[in-house]
Chains A and B, each alone.
Chain A
Amino acid sequence: MEIIESKQNEVNIFTLHGRLDSNTSPELEKKLAGAMQSGARNMVLDFENLDYISSAGLRIILKTTKDLKRTEGALILCAMQDYVKEVFEIAGFDSFLPIVPTVDEALSKL
């Protein structure tokens, strides 16, 4: 998996490429935790090029959402492929996680 990090208007954007599973999720966890330690409050995860996610990936996203909520920040997910979105729906995560179609829309909400 490849993770590209960028910043726009005080929002940290993480663009994910490839597969997010139990083997690759520690890498994302480390990146997100590092950003939070450096003071990041609002984050966007761009899933446009993410081909796959398992419960290990969902765990990191849930943990990050909880951690950001504590500091009054927020996490928004965007540009999900249909298969990936279905995993969020089956897990019930779509009921409390904001999922929007584009990065621009995510940025406009933060």
Chain B
Amino acid sequence: MSKAATSFKLKNALTELDSLFQHIEQFGRSVELPKKQIFQINLALDELFTNIVSYGYTDSNSHWIVFRLSLVNDAVIIRIEDNGVPFDPVAAPTSGSAAPLENCKIGGLGLHIVKKMMDEIAYERRGDKNIITIKKQVRP
């Protein structure tokens, strides 16, 4: 049984995406994840982070979004915490198929990708916080 964990916080700005990537890559390397899984975790967290930054806040203040990643046995468990408006990504509709092109609805595409790339996703509202928990199986 192996166990490793890291946590970090980012400001609610899209320019923080590079920092998000660096944190995930560092964690992924430290627990020896394949590049493909690092990519997939990065993509899922990018989509959720981008949603929070784009739609989560009604003021123009700076806010922290807190990430915690841990490897427990053969799964990466990720927790994302923000104090934005309540938003449940599990219940939100996703756009399953993009075709046909003419009537493709683009909204929900990011969440569709998250759900496809991760194995489990859960949401809870606790006080003034949104808490998303994700599980990604990384080893057979």
Contacts and interface: CB of A to CB of B under 8 A. Distances in A.
A71 interface: no
Interface residues of A, number: 23
A93 B112 CA distance: 13
A55 B113 contact: yes
Contacts of B35: 83
Contacts of B112: 90-91
Given A21-B50, A95-B98, A96-B101, 18 more contacts: A19-B18, A19-B21, A21-B14, A23-B15, A23-B18, A52-B21, A52-B42, A54-B50, A62-B101, A66-B101, A69-B101, A82-B36, A87-B43, A90-B112, A93-B98, A95-B99, A96-B98, A96-B99
Interface of B: 14-15, 17-18, 21, 35-36, 39-40, 42-43, 46-47, 50, 53-54, 96-101, 104, 106, 109-110, 112-113, 116-117
